[in-house]
Amino acid sequence: MAAATAVGGDLDGGPAWPWAQAPVFSYSERDLIRSGVRWGGSGSGSGSGSGSRFDAALLSAWEERMDGGGCFRYRLPPRGLPSRRLPGPRRFVAQLNPQRATERRRPQEILSLRQPFEPERFNFTRIPAREVLFRLRRGGGCPEAGEAEAQAQAEALLVVNVSPLERGHVLLVPEPARGLPQLLTRDAVLRALELVFLSSEPAFRVGFNSLGAWASVNHLHLHGYYLGHRLELESAPSRPLGPPESGSPGRRLLLPVHLLRGPPGRGLLVYTDGGDLPAAALTLHALGGLLVRRSLAHNLFVCRGCPPGDPPARPDSRDGVRMVLWPRKSCFGLKGEEGGEGEEEAFKVALCELAGHLPIKTPQDYSSLTEEKVLDTVEKYLLPEEEFSQLLSEVTELLQG
List the 357-360 sheet strands across, edge first: 83-85, 93-96, 357-360
Selection from 223, 228, 166 nearest residue 201 by Cα: 228
Selection from 174, 95, 19 nearest residue 358 by Cα: 95
Selection from 216, 180, 203 nearest residue 55 by Cα: 203
Annotated active-site residue 221? The verdict is yes
Q: Which of these is catalytic: 219, 221, 223, 298?
A: 221
Residues 187, 173 contacting (CB under 8 angstroms): no
Residues 191, 136 contacting (CB under 8 angstroms): yes
Pairing of strands 24-27, 83-85: unpaired
Cα separation, 35 vs 33, in Å, equals 6
DSSP state of 83: E
Please report the beta strands in 253-362, taking only residues with DSSP state E, as ranges in sequence order: 258-260, 268-272, 297-305, 320-328, 357-360
List the 204-209 sheet strands across, edge first: 24-27, 132-138, 156-160, 170-174, 222-226, 204-209, 297-305, 320-328, 268-272, 258-260, 238-240
Return the amino acid letter for 362.
T
The residues annotated as belonging to the active site are 221
